[in-house]
Structure 1
Amino acid sequence: MQFSEDLVRTLQTRLSDLRFYTGLIDGKPGLLTQTAVIDFKVHHKLRARAYPGPITLKTMFSDSASRKPNNPVLSTEPAWMTEAVRLKGIREKAGPGSNPEILEWAEDLDLHYPDDDIPWCGLFVAHCMRVGAPNDERPQNILGARNWQPFGVQCEPVLGSILVFWRGSRSGWQGHVGFYAGEDDKAYHVLGGNQSNAVTVARISKSRLLSARWPASVPVSGKPVRQSANGSLSQNEA
């Protein structure tokens, strides 16, 4: 999407008004913006491409443009969780080199991050929170999973909450951080980065939980989600 920053910001604002875009109004034509353009075009029976051509723009800024219908399921999902779900499957590059998308998250956060071999679960959470809750102050060192323990406000583990876990030992320094996607009797189902070197959902024992957090700028809206206990427990998310 080759447009000026001002035009992209105008597109994001209009798509946000029409409920197709839930991200940050930052003038950057990222995947969340492109997905919103595609959703808008599909809803208005236009060719489903990310590029907003003249017909799309005319439709988008006309009085006949319709808003995205309310979805009672998606309406309970915070914007940062929508972004996290969208990124499922993103994987670090094996061997020399790095996945440029992961490096781009760091660049957007003004973080020196030269290689995706460096644990990036905290980077993934920071990127999603930048999209969904940009006004909340992030930890000074976002890469340290346990540094997310004081973030925002304490909450119960609910859909979209940030879950901080210990690794190795509860009293040690190692940790892991991701988003609550559900739970069974023994484990939380965590949507996180750097889980098997990718953005995946992993079952992590409830006994390893250190804290559940929610951005202070957004009212807590999530609810617990019961899921089947399929798959083994994750032992080491790095």
Structure 2
Amino acid sequence: MSTIEEETDIPKQKINGKVAIAQASGGIVSVVPQANGKFTLRAIFFDASENIATKPPSTVKDVTDKGMTISDAPWFEQAKEELARDVREIKGAKQNPRILEYHKSTDDLDEIDASKDEIAWCSSFVNFCMQQVGVERTKSALAKSWLKWGQELDIPRKGCVVVFERPSGGPNAGHVGFFVAEDGSNIELLGGNQGDRISISPQKKSRKLSYRWPI
């Protein structure tokens, strides 16, 4: 099973040390700033008995040009690297150039204002991660575009794409990111545009539409 550890009210001068310790222990770490100037650290650890599918469907092909197989989920490793960059929106007139790079991985530049980092970018982030490792992507800034990508999984596995509905945003609204773990009624999701940043945050299982994996 996966284990989720959370610590709040960490002073700024101690957060880097705590992150290093958690990462050295094999944790996937997300740091969230608090309103009081301190930080919350969330770390997810896995063990071998975790009840998540460990093998891809039989139709999954090798990513031969990268010298690795799809089962390595290289896009998930890219997502973790972006998480470590602490990518977040910049308040005010300035824009985070990294988020603008995510938008450039889509073909929707005429439909979205790709010059602004506050434009919904969860799908742009997933597209970017796929593009960086040479895996086919949707090239769409719409989260629900991922419902037509790859093949559906009955059982989630680490790094698979998860698509959620977002009823408050209307019928076309959604959210998308990468599966990290299950936690009761929640799915721990590594995604962009979560609290205006890349983070690991819980999403309700009841809003899940599909687990997706490349064909």
Could you state the TM-score of these two structures normalised by the residue count of structure 1?
Answer: 0.54
Q: 1:85 to 1:172 in 2, by over 3 A?
A: same
Q: Does 1:115 align with 2:119?
A: no
User: Structure 1 residue 100: deviation in Å?
Assistant: 0.6
> Structure 2 CA distance, aligned partners of 1:211 and 1:108?
22
> Structure 2 CA distance, aligned partners of 1:107 and 1:145?
15
User: Structure 1 residue 135: deviation in Å?
Assistant: 4.2
Q: 1:210 to 1:171 in 2, by over 3 A?
A: farther
User: Structure 1 residue 139: deviation in Å?
Assistant: 2.4
User: Structure 1 residue 104: deviation in Å?
Assistant: 2.1
Q: 1:103 to 1:201 in 2, by over 3 A?
A: same
Q: CA RMSD in A?
A: 2.2
Q: 1:170 to 1:108 in 2, by over 3 A?
A: closer
Q: 1:96 to 1:181 in 2, by over 3 A?
A: same
Q: Is the 8 A contact 2:162 2:176 kept in 1?
A: yes
Q: 1:207 to 1:170 in 2, by over 3 A?
A: farther
Matches within 5 A, 1:168-207: 168=167, 172-207=171-206
User: Structure 1 residue 106: deviation in Å?
Assistant: 2.9
String of CA shifts for 1:111-147, please: whole Å, max 9, x gaps.
Answer: 5211111100000000011123x242x325x211111
Size of the aligned set, in residue pairs, is 139
The structure with more radius of gyration = 1
- SS of corresponding position for 2:129: helix
Q: Is the 8 A contact 2:108 2:141 kept in 1?
A: no
Structure 1 counterpart of 2:100: 103
> Structure 1 CA distance, aligned partners of 2:105 and 2:170?
33
> Structure 2 CA distance, aligned partners of 1:77 and 1:206?
25
Structure 2 counterpart of 1:215: 214
String of CA shifts for 1:203-233, please: whole Å, max 9, x gaps.
Answer: 01111100110111xxxxxxxxxxxxxxxxx
Could you state the TM-score of these two structures normalised by the residue count of structure 2?
Answer: 0.59
Q: 1:202 to 1:135 in 2, by over 3 A?
A: closer
Q: Does 1:161 align with 2:156?
A: no
Q: Does 1:81 align with 2:82?
A: no
Structure 2 counterpart of 1:149: 147
> Structure 2 CA distance, aligned partners of 1:120 and 1:109?
10
- SS of corresponding position for 1:198: coil
Q: Is the 8 A contact 1:170 1:208 kept in 2?
A: no
Q: Is the 8 A contact 1:162 1:212 kept in 2?
A: yes
User: Structure 1 residue 184: deviation in Å?
Assistant: 1.5
> Structure 1 CA distance, aligned partners of 2:75 and 2:128?
9
Q: Is the 8 A contact 2:103 2:125 kept in 1?
A: no
User: Structure 1 residue 105: deviation in Å?
Assistant: 2.8
> Structure 2 CA distance, aligned partners of 1:195 and 1:170?
15
The letter of the residue matching 1:128 is C
Structure 2, gaps ≥5 residues long? 1-69
> Structure 2 CA distance, aligned partners of 1:79 and 1:151?
17
- SS of corresponding position for 2:167: coil
Q: Is the 8 A contact 2:176 2:191 kept in 1?
A: yes
> Structure 1 CA distance, aligned partners of 2:78 and 2:108?
20
Q: Does 1:93 align with 2:90?
A: yes
> Structure 1 CA distance, aligned partners of 2:152 and 2:96?
33
Q: Is the 8 A contact 2:103 2:121 kept in 1?
A: no
Looking at secondary structure, tell me which structure has more strand per residue. 2
Q: Is the 8 A contact 1:77 1:159 kept in 2?
A: no
> Structure 2 CA distance, aligned partners of 1:131 and 1:104?
11
Higher relative contact order structure (alpha carbons within 8 Å, sequence separation ≥ 6) = 2
The letter of the residue matching 1:106 is H
Q: Is the 8 A contact 1:77 1:160 kept in 2?
A: no
